[in-house]
Chains A and B, each alone.
Chain A
Amino acid sequence: MNCLEFKKHISLYLELKENNEDTIAFDTHLTKCQFCQQEVNKYLELDKKLKEINDISPVRNYKEHFWKALEYKEAFDRIKIKKRAYYGLAAALVIVVSFIFLMKFYLIEYKPSAQDIKDEELLIQVNEILSSPVISSNSALAITEEELNLLDSKDKEGYIKINKNIEIKEVNYV
């Protein structure tokens, strides 16, 4: 075994040594190589140094401390559970109210009142009047004979043509 191999397997060597297992191959190299011996010593020294941290002792009444802490923790958990229950109830209430609100305004069929129906019909009639291009012959807005004569022959023809194509409706003004 050379130094390179020893360095590579130094962890294995330390482990084997810890377990009192066969380390002949390593030991033979160590007896010859001072450098590797130094490296091993560093690890052994470290193990000693690690033991330098002294133990600390618990406080005298550590058990009482523990049971008191447990008592507090249990009480705190109880409060936490209660709080969670309240929050849960509040959330459930909000969900139920929102659901009812939605059902009322969107999901349940809307039934209009008699007045609403009357208004709707009136609105339809007004729309019809406004969209109609026809003006009744009785209307003050209808073109008179004199005005017709004043028009050019081309315009006159167009006017008559349009009047013939459009179905005249009787409109009842409100």
Chain B
Amino acid sequence: MNSITDEMIMLEIKNGKKEYFNIILERYYKMILNYAYRVLGKKEDAEEVSQEIFLRLYFSVRNYKPVSSFRTFLFFIAHRECIRFSKKRKKFIPILNPNLYKYSDTPSSIYEVRRGEELIKKAILKLKPKYRSALILRAYFGLGYEEISKIINCSLGDTKNYIFRSKRKLISILNPNSRGAL
């Protein structure tokens, strides 16, 4: 079962073998869940959206044609679904300055890690959805620029620009003193 490619699995499902979808779930559920978690910032939302993404994938099997890689196809659905969800919830958590975030003074290494994680998570949430998706796909999933451009549906140049601008914005959010340095 491991040797069978994703595209072949999709074609098998298209031919009526529903049980093959379990392999897709095993291979990609965690990846999509983490993508949604990074884009939306909340575990509960991520779980809800990932389920919706896989339902959409399941129903889109009928129209599936293996023209591009399955991963691109899946992330394309995931990106659209996350944007749709964000618009529905209108949940772009506003933070004025993450450095003003209040923490207790207890020195703890775990807490520091958590703090760093929270800061970066909130800073990512300040980016526009398209920028956010592009950055996450690049930084966390190591996707190529061309693949990302197909997923977020824009040109290669724009994609590179989005990613660089996202990084510049994150730097200015995380280090407010360095704002305007570039």
**Contacts from A to B (Cβ < 8 Å):** 7, 10-11, 14-15, 39, 42-43, 46-47, 49-59, 62-63, 65-66, 69-70, 73
Given contacts A56-B43, A58-B50, A66-B55, 4 further A-B contacts (CB under 8 A): A43-B167, A50-B170, A54-B117, A65-B51
Whether, in the assembled complex, B9 has its beta carbon less than 8 Å from a beta carbon of chain A, the answer is no
Measured as residues with beta carbon below 8 angstroms from the partner, the interface class of chain B is 35 or more
Residue contact B117 to A53, C-beta cutoff 8 Å? yes
- Measured between alpha carbons, how far is A42 from B182 in the docked complex, in Å? 11
- Measured between alpha carbons, how far is A62 from B43 in the docked complex, in Å? 14
Q: SS class of chain A's interface: helix, strand, loop or mixed?
A: helix
Q: How many A-B residue pairs have CB under 8 A?
A: 68
B:26-72 near A, CB below 8 Å: 26, 29-30, 33-34, 37-38, 43, 46-47, 50-51, 54-55, 58
Residue contact A50 to B117, C-beta cutoff 8 Å? no
The listed residue with most B CB atoms (<10 A of its CB), out of A10, A43, A50, is A50
Residues of B within 8 A of A42 (CB): 171, 175, 178
Q: A11-B160, A56-B43 are in contact. Are A46 and B170 (CB under 8 A)?
A: yes
Question: Can you sample 13 A-B contacts with CB below 8 Å?
Answer: A11-B160, A42-B178, A43-B167, A50-B170, A52-B120, A53-B117, A53-B140, A56-B37, A56-B46, A59-B47, A66-B29, A66-B54, A70-B58
Residue contact A46 to B55, C-beta cutoff 8 Å? no
CB distance from B59 to the nearest CB of A (A): 8
Q: A10-B182, A49-B174, A50-B140 are in contact. Are A66 and B160 (CB under 8 A)?
A: no
Residues of A within 8 A of B167 (CB): 43, 46
- Measured between alpha carbons, how far is A55 from B119 in the docked complex, in Å? 16
Q: A49-B120, A50-B139, A52-B120 are in contact. Are A70 and B170 (CB under 8 A)?
A: no
